[in-house]
Amino acid sequence: MTLHLFNTYSGKKEPFEPTNPNRVTMYVCGPTVYSYAHIGNARPPVVFDVLFRLLRHQYGESAVIYARNFTDIDDKIIAASQETGEPIHAITGKYADIYRADMAALGTLPPTQEPRATEHIEEMQRLVSALLDKGHAYAEQDHVLFSVKSFHQYGKLSKLPQDDIIAGARVEVAPYKHDPADFVLWKPSKEDEPGWEAPTDWGVAGRGRPGWHLECSAMIRAGLGETIDIHGGGQDLRFPHHENEIAQSCCAHDTGDIPLARFWLHNGFLNMGKDKMSKSLGNIVTPHELLNTWQGEVLRFALLSAHYRQPLEWTDSLLEQSKKQLDRFYRTLSEFSDVEEIAVEVPANIMAALRDDLNTPEAIAALHALRDRAASATGPERAQAKAQLLAAGELLGLFSSDPANWFKGATSEDGLADEAIDTLLDERAQARKEKNYARADEIRDELAANNIIFEDGPDGTTWRRG
């Protein structure tokens, strides 16, 4: 069975073929880094990590380019800096590191690219210039706005009626908008806010900064190209964020019939009771704190227990059930510790479930059946059964622990999982190589604060909990 994905743009499940099988491109909107991500924010990176693994399995590891960005310039970040007195780059650096470490603890592979918005201001300005030149944007009162009326396909992704589009644009009284649905590409910065000089021919005065939608269009263009194969994010991003990304990119570039990405994928919400988990409702729980109690793989298993387009209710019982199920797998694997490792294909039914629009609940059900068969296997069948379990587990990002360690319980009392510590130490080594001693010291302090003792030796760095 070929890979089929539900494409929000067409509203249908479609067979997926990349434009170029040697360079398969995927972009997922990442976090705005001004505080801890909540476990709902972790759903897209975990879901799209399964897709990343599936694509790598199919097209080869080096053929898949996956970008997940950091939004590191934004009103919320500026507000956080003004509130705490901490410089912006310290806030964004700190929360980006925590995000990377927590996502690593959830078993997500590092994306191929992790662009930061502030590193792509030039590309953003290039896009704005192109939109102004082509008559898709206008300058007004030191803002640059995208003219929604100039793009006839506007609304095709979210399929919203024009009235809802205008309501959804959350129109405050904005005297600089020619039309209420128009959105900001560039806005002026106050004296104490970060900003960049705009090209003089835009007709805006003073320093300014990009709008959020523009950031993603520019990072996609810079890292992946004018059009890409797959674009992902949570369903709340369909409108206005993704609709606006499409408008900007299609109008600035000549993308033909392709609405920036050939496939648009959106995950459903993770809910607390009936409500979407969200910072504004205050009903959040963060992976950072959950990792004090639960192994990262338990959180991952819980997130993959529902189909990614369905809502998922987050409860203690979901976590307990996930832990119990993983315990059963690890118990079987621990009974196989003496069995030699052989290379096998992932069983066809598990492959088929994942290729059917990432049906992880069905893949997990098939994994249980495989475990039952493995438990009663004898002789040479045992090596086959163990290898199949591990191969399927790897595709889902599961069973990465040594079974002997698994039953030692939660990751650690200090909250940093093993994978998170390894990620931080890798980053420290890189920072030292780049002579960025300030960053290396920051990481040293963070590890010390978490009671991690490490030593640099001739064969690299070793660590233990203090």
Give the shortest CB-243-to-Zn ion separation in angstroms: 11
Question: Residue from 107, 115, 233, 296 that binds ligand AMP (CB under 6 A)?
Answer: 233
CB 27 within 8 A of CB 40: no
> From ligand AMP, Zn ion, none, which one binds at residue 32 (CB under 5 to 8 Å depending on kind)?
ligand AMP
Give the shortest CB-44-to-ligand AMP separation in angstroms: 4
Separation between Cα atoms, residue 450 and residue 416, nearest integer Å: 7
> From Zn ion, ligand AMP, none, which one binds at residue 58 (CB under 5 to 8 Å depending on kind)?
none
Residue 169 within binding range of ligand AMP, rule CB under 6 A: no
List, in sequence order, the alpha helices (H) in 224-307. Answer: 243-252, 287-290, 296-304
Separation between Cα atoms, residue 285 and residue 294, nearest integer Å: 13
Give the shortest CB-284-to-ligand AMP separation in angstroms: 8
Give the shortest CB-42-to-ligand AMP separation in angstroms: 8
Separation between Cα atoms, residue 45 and residue 106, nearest integer Å: 9
> From Zn ion, ligand AMP, none, which one binds at residue 216 (CB under 5 to 8 Å depending on kind)?
Zn ion
| Rg value, the chain, Cα | 23
Neighbours of 432 (CB within 10 A): 15
Output 261 or 396, the one with its CB closest to Zn ion.
261
CA-based torsion, 425, 426, 431, 433: positive or negative: positive
> From Zn ion, ligand AMP, none, which one binds at residue 313 (CB under 5 to 8 Å depending on kind)?
none
Stretch near ligand AMP under the rule CB under 6 A, chosen from 194-202, 264-272, 386-394, 449-457: 264-272
Give the shortest CB-360-to-ligand AMP separation in angstroms: 15
Output 198 or 216, the one with its CB closest to Zn ion.
216
- Which contacts of 134-139 are long-range, i.e. CB under 8 A and separated by 24 or more positions? 134/251, 134/252, 136/247, 136/251, 136/252, 137/185, 138/178, 139/202, 139/203, 139/204
Burial of 176 (0-12, 13-18, 19+ CB in 10 A): middle
CB 286 within 8 A of CB 165: no
DSSP structure class, residue 197: E
> From ligand AMP, Zn ion, none, which one binds at residue 34 (CB under 5 to 8 Å depending on kind)?
none
Question: Residue from 18, 25, 40, 446 that binds ligand AMP (CB under 6 A)?
Answer: 40
Residue 76 within binding range of ligand AMP, rule CB under 6 A: no
Stretch near ligand AMP under the rule CB under 6 A, chosen from 35-43, 123-131, 140-148, 334-342: 35-43
Site residues for Zn ion, 20-39, by CB under 5 A, read 29
Q: Which helix (H) or strand (E) holds 154?
A: none
Give the shortest CB-313-to-ligand AMP separation in angstroms: 11
Output 212 or 336, the one with its CB closest to Zn ion.
212
Q: Which helix (H) or strand (E) holds 429?
A: helix 418-433
CB 336 within 8 A of CB 379: no
CB 21 within 8 A of CB 59: yes
Give the shortest CB-276-to-ligand AMP separation in angstroms: 5
Residue 211 within binding range of ligand AMP, rule CB under 6 A: no
Which residue, chain included where needed, has tokens 């662009």? 115
Q: Which helix (H) or strand (E) holds 462?
A: strand 460-465
Output 57 or 279, the one with its CB closest to ligand AMP.
279
Question: Residue from 112, 150, 189, 278 that binds ligand AMP (CB under 6 A)?
Answer: 278
Instruction: Record the tokens describing residue 456, joined without a space.
Output: 């640099």
Question: Residue from 33, 34, 43, 184 that binds ligand AMP (CB under 6 A)?
Answer: 43
Residue 276 within binding range of ligand AMP, rule CB under 6 A: yes
Which residue, chain included where needed, has tokens 């410089």? 87
Stretch near ligand AMP under the rule CB under 6 A, chosen from 163-171, 186-194, 265-273, 409-417: 265-273
Give the shortest CB-378-to-Zn ion separation in angstroms: 52
Site residues for Zn ion, 210-239, by CB under 5 A, read 216
Output 31 or 397, the one with its CB closest to ligand AMP.
31
Output 80 or 277, the one with its CB closest to ligand AMP.
277
- Which contacts of 168-174 are long-range, i.e. CB under 8 A and separated by 24 or more positions? 168/239, 168/240, 169/240
Q: Which residue is nearest to ligand AMP (CB)?
A: 234
Question: Residue from 44, 115, 210, 211 that binds ligand AMP (CB under 6 A)?
Answer: 44
Residue 236 within binding range of ligand AMP, rule CB under 6 A: yes
Instruction: Record the tokens describing residue 137, joined without a space.
Output: 């944007």
Separation between Cα atoms, residue 304 and residue 39, nearest integer Å: 12
- Residues in touch with ligand AMP (CB under 6 A): 29, 31-32, 40-41, 43-44, 233-234, 236-237, 267, 269-270, 276-278
- Residues in touch with Zn ion (CB under 5 A): 29, 216
